[in-house]
Structure formats: C-alpha cells, structure tokens
C-alpha cells in the first residue's frame, strides 16, 4: 500500500511542477502597447493614450489604434482571440 501511495505522490508532484510550463504565457504573443502622454502628444500633433504596436495576431480596425479610456482598452482586449488574451497586455 505504501508503494502505491509513493507512486501517487510522485505523480501529483510531477503534475504540479510541469503544469505551469504547459500553460505559460508568451509575452510576444500578447498585446504590446506604449503610453504617449498628452503633453508630449500635443507637441507632436499625435493622439495621446496607449498606442497598440502592430502584430499579425491582433484584430484591429486600424494598424495602430490609440486607446484613451479603460473602456476602449477592455473592448480592444475582448475583441482578440483567446490565445492573445491569455498572453496578456
């Protein structure tokens, strides 16, 4: 009986150690943005906010959307595939 317990414990520990590797996030497959502050944007004549960097994985209405509110950011994230959402912002 103790041999079965040892095998089950080893199996449980192995699954616990290797499960995060199987579901690890890959940052390059997520949404990449950079922040352009309003005062800097005003100088350059560009829109302020979070500018989304282009990627073939993203679904976007324009090549470089600018998100200025939390509602816009959440809406943009929710439009993406589950794999992109899983890899984060």
What range does the domain containing 59 cover? Answer: 25-87
Segment 78-89 mean pLDDT: 89
In a domain, 14, yes or no: no
Instruction: Using the predicted structure, report yes or no on whether residue 67 has a pLDDT greater than 90.
Output: yes
In a domain, 30, yes or no: yes
Check residue 11 and give its pLDDT: 61
Tell me the CB-side half-sphere exposure of residue 81, using CA atoms within 13 A.
10
In a domain, 41, yes or no: yes
- Which pTM was predicted? 0.66
Instruction: Using the predicted structure, report yes or no on whether residue 8 has a pLDDT greater than 60.
Output: no
Instruction: Using the predicted structure, report yes or no on whether residue 56 has a pLDDT greater than 90.
Output: no
- The two three-digit tokens of residue 53, written as one number: 């960097």
Residues 27-43 have pLDDT tens digits of: 778 899 999 999 999 99
In a domain, 38, yes or no: yes
- Alpha carbon distance 52, 57 (integer Å): 12
Please, are residues 75 and 50 in contact by the beta-carbon 8 Å criterion? Answer: no
Which tops the pLDDT comparison, 60 or 80?
80
In a domain, 56, yes or no: yes
Q: Total structural domains in the chain?
A: 1
């Amino acid at each position: 009986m103790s041999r079965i317990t040892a095998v089950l414990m080893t199996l449980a520990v192995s699954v616990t150690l290797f499960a995060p590797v199987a579901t690890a996030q890959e940052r390059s497959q997520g949404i990449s943005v950079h922040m352009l502050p309003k005062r800097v944007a005003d100088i350059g004549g560009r829109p302020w906010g979070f500018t989304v960097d282009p990627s073939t994985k993203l679904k976007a209405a324009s090549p470089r959307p600018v998100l200025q509110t939390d509602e816009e950011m959440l809406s943009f994230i929710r439009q993406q595939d589950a794999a992109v959402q899983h890899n984060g912002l």
